[in-house]
Structure 1
């Protein structure tokens, strides 16, 4: 069965849009004086909103795989945005928490991120957002 032409490029469209958005965020972070990637921001934001977490909880909460989260944590630790400490009752696991610098960074960049989100949705309605979410959820479910 031959697939309709309209379906051929959905992956390319998603990838192109994601790359453009990531580049926009990274440029904005750099212009604000922070050496952060959007992927690193996601972990900082999650920690700011939810408090200290294990690596597994971060992976689950940010929908990233554990090896990726581990690499991001390593970089954020070197940049002094986060710190690793042992869980008090489980010496095998680490707890990841924002440092004071990480908290300050979140406070400074969060308004910028909100502005970028507004820019992202410029010219679109809440209905457009709902429809896009529905479509993307359906595509995800098609592979689940």
Structure 2
């Protein structure tokens, strides 16, 4: 393998993983959401509410992109925005009850994805891979 192929390979892995996630969500009847929408829901499943800025940092997207993603999730009934009672300029995003109902689906899809990703890979290889990929990310 040519070392220059690493970025192409990472890109193909990401594409395959995203396709897997979308297909699995569709099996559960969640249609029309991309993986970036899933990133937001996943972040909110871990945190009861987040500001738009915190959400942007957690999913590593710019604030304007997050605003567009959140707006779509609001239209689909998964999240809601509320203003901070102490500082009206601060907007929080949180899951609705419909959004919280997605947790079991997200847990299953995450488990299934990890099963596919680490199939035929030892624990040591998994740890080495993570360390190397983290180094590559930090290089940027």
The normalised TM-score by structure 1 is: 0.88
What CA deviation, in whole Å up to 9, does each residue of 1:76-108 have, x standing for no partner? 111110001111111112100000000012233
Equivalents in 1 of 2:127, 2:62: separation in Å? 26
Say which of 97, 111, 122 aligns to 2:119.
122
Aligned counterparts of 2:122 and 2:84: Cα–Cα separation in 1: 44
Does 2:46 match 1:49?
A: yes
Equivalent in 19, 25, 48 of residue 23 of structure 1? 19
Secondary structure at 1:95 match in 2: strand
Secondary structure of the corresponding residue to residue 90 of structure 1: coil
Aligned length: 139
Larger CA deviation: 86-95 vs 115-124: 115-124
With structure 2 as the length reference, what TM-score do the two structures score? 0.90
CA distance 1:132–1:65, change in 2 (3 Å): farther
Residue of structure 2 equivalent to 1:95:
92
RMSD: 1.5
Q: Secondary structure of 2:2's match?
A: helix
User: Runs of 5+ in structure 1 lacking a partner?
Assistant: none
Query: Structure 2: where are the runs of 5+ without partners?
Result: none
